[in-house]
Structure 1
Amino acid sequence: MDFKLQHTISQIKLILVLPCLSQAQRWSKRDQEVYESIKAQANKVVYTSQDYTRDCMFRRNRHLVDHSGTCICYLSKPQGGTAYTVDYAKKKGLKITNLAD
């Protein structure tokens, strides 16, 4: 996987905000290879937790909203982690673009 647009438009940066160092530990070998390839192309990688914890995904989502000006999401149901994060983004005043609409 190559992020060619990043090479064409210098203002585009690939910043990964990941929940923990061991996120891909139980994934298939192929998925881990793709994951590592994407990480290698990133301009910056941020981990919100060293280890998997019950709230590491929550902390990752909060970090994304707290460091963003726009929320682009695919929200298709009114409950769950995505719904909670989009609601948080609305409360923080972010512009919301829901690709499911």
Structure 2
Amino acid sequence: MKRRTESQGERYFSIIGRCDKETLLAYHYTPDCMHNLNRYMVNHSNFVIAVWDGSFGRTAGTIRYARQKGKKVIIINPVTFKVRRSAPVKH
């Protein structure tokens, strides 16, 4: 795993210091920690805002999961800056 640079670490701790609440999901990096993080965020959100270029990958999976959980999803294309809404999957 790539370590943060000193300036990245300073920025991280500056942001954390301004948070109202911090939730720790894991003490160390694991192969599934980002998957678990994404699931946690979806499960604890009313809606999801995703910056996504339409490619296959972790973001696509998270958007699919959010829709399956009935969440409204707002997608921002990072190239065109177009915003679109993705309706939740109806059960």
TM-score where L is the length of structure 2: 0.80
Provide, for residues 12-52 of structure 1, a one-character-per-residue CA deviation record: whole Å limited to 9, x for no partner. Answer: xxxxxxxxxxx9x8111011101000000001111211111
Unpaired stretches in structure 2, ≥5 consecutive residues: 83-91
The answer for the alignment partner of 2:86 in structure 1 is: none
Aligned-pair identity in percent equals 33
Q: Distance in 1 between matches of 2:27 and 2:9?
A: 18
Which has the higher relative contact order, 1 or 2, with Cα contacts under 8 A spaced 6 or more apart?
1
Pick from 35, 44, 49: which aligns with 2:26? 49
Q: How does 1:77-96 map to 2 (within 5 A)?
A: 77-96=54-73
Alpha-carbon distance in 2 for matches of 1:38, 1:48: 17
Instruction: Give the 4+ runs in structure 1 shifted more than 4 A.
Output: none
- In 2, the alpha carbon distance for the partners of 1:58 and 1:47 equals 14
The runs of 5 or more residues in structure 1 that have no matched partner are: 1-22
1:69 to 28, 34, 46: 46
TM-score scaled by length of structure 1: 0.72
> In 1, Cα distance between the equivalents of 2:14 and 2:54?
31
Query: Residue 3 of structure 2 aligns to which amino acid in structure 1?
Result: R
The number of residues matched between the two structures is: 78
Aligned-CA RMSD value = 1.6
